[in-house]
Structure 1
Amino acid sequence: MKDLVKKWNNISLVKRIIMGLVVGITLALTAPDAAKPIAIFGSLFVGALKSVAPILVFFLVMTAISQHKSGAKTTMKSIVFLYLLGTFLSGLVAVVTSFMFPVELTLGAGVQDVAPPGGVVEVLKTLLLNIVDNPVNALVNANYIGILAWALILGIALKSASESTKTAISNISDALSQVVKWVINLAPFGIMGLVFDTISTQGIETLFGYGRLIIILVGCMAFIALVVNPLIAFIGIRKNPYPLVLKCLKDSGLTAFFTRSSAANIPVNMSLCEELNLNKDTYSVSIPLGATINMGGAAVTISILTLAAVNTLGIKVDLGMALILSLLSAVSACGASGVAGGSLLLVPLACSLFGIPNDVAMQVVGVGFIVGVIQDSCETALNSSTDVLFTAIAEFTKLRKEGKKFEIIPKKGKEMSIKEVSISDADINN
């Protein structure tokens, strides 16, 4: 048994995930009733990630802040700028795409038990109230804004604590990181259960009626992931960005595609940042923050569904309104919940910009839930993988500006490694 487990663990995680994916799809199409119990693996996997993520983030951030040395520089300002820029550009690309390939909807879908926010002010108010949430309540409800706020406050307060106290907190952080590695190692079984449950219960045929909308949504997100983000990366690091981009999509985007939750994918992103040898003081804060405000995929969903409703109702939209929608979708996306379907409830907010009644807007949300099996998966994959990508871009840009040479070297059959060496004065002069 030990030899079997050892052989299984020696197989690359991505290959194991693909194996689980194939098994899940096969069982869903051939024996959906007989294999129904395996769906529990998906629920257990996502539940385990969601349960460990809040406390992991809390201790990681608190440890990083308490042990931060005065004068040591991080790249958080650059990362936050990239998060906001990426989200705005995603909304802008979605608006342009909607003008180039207009989509109309067949409204009439019903939506129950959902309550969209009343406006941008309400979204911002919720974000501010989350900051001052009770720390225990924040951990229980996975309120990452509140978790970050309390971790920062306690981290600053503990900077003057004894080394033994800091070591104890660091040991807890390391233990939680090890737990996360164990959970991630079970991803193939979890994804097998998730994909089986999705296909066996919702089916693929229900999506065919919305094929054009799905193509526009997925195509737009793919363009951002494979063109816009690499362009941002190239401007920063001045090297071929695709090895890094594809690495983030493969290791982070793949699991996020199936978990459909940026919050649940935080441990996966932490592990990837560690593998990329990024600064732990930086990514322990930037990754959970990105799961909250870096929502390029959500901006795409909000913009495209809103303009689809606009086209359906025959409302004329000028350039100025389109730019306002891009900004509104970016701001709204930053308030999107880090759970499956979190961005859809912000569609009525954007629809109100064009005077669309709430009952009609909620029908658009209903369409969103129908295509959500694909839309939300792609959206989360884009959001989550970009958290790691922008964190890495900021750090590599800093190395370049400091006159250090770094290389992203893909090795066949091995994980990508980052090699960093200092440039000599002669090299700089040349």
Structure 2
Amino acid sequence: MRHFRLKIGYLLFMFFWLFGFINLFSQTSRRTHYASESIVWQKTVGTVLGEPLWKTRDAYDAGHFLMIPLHHAFITADSVAIYEFAKFFKNMGRSELPEGQLNQVQIIYLSSQYITLKKRYGYQLNTSDIFLIKRILKFINIKWFLDVAFQWDQLPFFGLKNRLEFALENVLVKDETSYNRAVTDYELFFFAIASDISFITKNSSLLEVNDVEILKNINLYLIRILNSRGIFTEYGGWVFQKGYWRDHSSYKYSGHLVLKENLSIFKVENISEDSSHAHRWPLWISSYYHADSNNENLLDKIYNAFSTQFVTKIGVKNQNGVLMNNFVDGHNGLYRYKYTTTGSGISLGYGPYNLSGTLGIAWYCFLDGTEEFYKLYENSYPLNNEILKLYVGPNTTRVRNKLFKSPEFFTNGFAELIAQQASEISSANKLNNQ
């Protein structure tokens, strides 16, 4: 009898073990559907990766549009997608950089993120990767010390270091515009690239002694800037350079809440940056965090606060989908009224919620607490006409790759694919796992 009970017990154990294994296997099987297998991925991401996106027309857009597909490829171990990205960066590493400093850092940051992800997920760096790292190091050296660094209303500086030293003096002289000493997105991209290279080359023989000192010096400037320009708010958020852009033509009409012709200048004195440009902060913060262990406490605090900023002030949920207020502090006034690259629709400017189309490519999904928002965003496709109109806004006059153009981007499956990937990322992502 005892032997019988033992046998029954063993059979029950085996049954539940097998049931659990089958259940685990079925869950794993559901996760083995890779994005690169879909026709939409092949017609969008797969197609553009076969093009020389590092050229001037496409570099700025490519740095935005391909970031979420790049991260998703590594997060899901999509070997086909990773291989296609590898081919793209191998070709890019041997090619001329685009014209325009912002175009350059946009596409270089995409490439530094690619190598960062390879290291983080345990992929072996190959000769093309190492060449690209060395080329980026040369770029960092030249930009930091030698190349001209733009400055409004005067001759440029030689080297970003000198321009940032001027910016950090932080004392506006008479008749100086509010943004004259602002730290720009070009410089913040530069810091993110240098941070990625610091992470990639840790405990390796790729750096010369001089390179190590330069990267440390760049990081010191970064921390000075974050400490002096970032503000932790009373509601637990974080805002960068509050009020610095109020005199800029993009912001001079932000006090108006309704778009119409012949508006007069109406500034908001302490205006924050716009929510479209600010979408880069989640990955910039991640890059800065991993650059140096001394950064971790400050960057962890900024990351959590900026996550709160998005959830409470930037992201907006409504019955038809999700939107964004136009400014990081939750203000929803006009942006770029009659600006040079603004298209011909909606009275030549971005009205309330008109920057929401950035969600199609935005990196906010890397923040904490965004799962519900991004699930709503994913489920809002196909977009209804009201939301689509807000997303497209006045559009842009820039010549763009046909796959990056709006409104087609929102209706051909590309934006929906990125929305699905962003939703997955938002469910899994935390700063120390990025």
Shorter-normalised TM range: under 0.3
Q: TM-score when scaled to structure 2?
A: 0.23
Q: Larger helix proportion, structure 1 or 2?
A: 1
Q: TM-score when scaled to structure 1?
A: 0.23
Whose Rg is larger? 2
